[in-house]
Amino acid sequence: MKKLALLFTLLLSTLIFAQETATKKFSPPAGNAAVGDVYGSNVSLNSETNAISAKKLDKKLKKSKKLENISVVGKVTDVCDKKGCWLTVETDNNEKFFVKMKDYAFFVPTALKGKTVVLEGNAETKIISVDEQKHYAEDAKKSQEEIDAITQPQEEIRFVANGIKVIK
C-alpha cells in the first residue's frame, strides 16, 4: 500500500510539473521591458552608438540582399502573444519589418511593444510564402478576413536578432 501511495504521489507530481512547464513554455516571458533590459546576447556599446535607422537598413538592403552583424534602431510595433518569439519594428517611412530570434534561443515580453530598441544581428530581403505569412498573421491575432486576403508571396525585410536592448 505504501508503494502504491508513493507511486501515485510521484505520478501526480510529474503531471503537475509537466503542466506548469507547458504553461510557461507557451507564453512570453514576464517583464516590463525597461530601458537597459537586454534579451538574447548582450548588445555592445558600439552597436548602440553605430546603430542605423530602419530607413537606412532598407536602403542598404536594396544594394545588398543580405547584411551581417548589423545594428538597427527602431520602435517595436508588435510582439508574438503566444511565446514572444517574434516582433515587428516600424521603419521611418511607417513600414514594418519582421524580427525573429536567432536559433529560437530567446523570447521577449509583450511589454516590448511601443518601446524603442537596438537590434543586433543579420538582415536580408526574402520572399515570404503565403503559408508563412498566414502563420504569423494567426499569431498576431489578425481577423480571418485579413488572413484570407493573403494570397501572394511577398518580399520583406527579415531580421534575425542575436540581441535586443531597450533604449526608450
Structural domain of 160: 27-166
* 20, part of any domain: no
pLDDT tens digits along 129-138: 999 999 988 8
Mind listing the pLDDT tens digit for each residue in 99-140? 999 999 999 999 999 999 999 999 999 999 999 999 988 888
Q: What does residue 41 show for φ and ψ, rounded to 5 degrees?
A: -70, 150
Tell me the pTM: 0.78
Q: Is residue 10 part of a domain?
A: no
Classify residue 61 as left (phi > 0), alpha (psi -120 to 50) or beta.
alpha
Low-confidence ranges of the chain (pLDDT < 50): 4-24
Nearest CA-CA partner of 161 in 87, 75, 95, 96: 87
In a domain, 18, yes or no: no
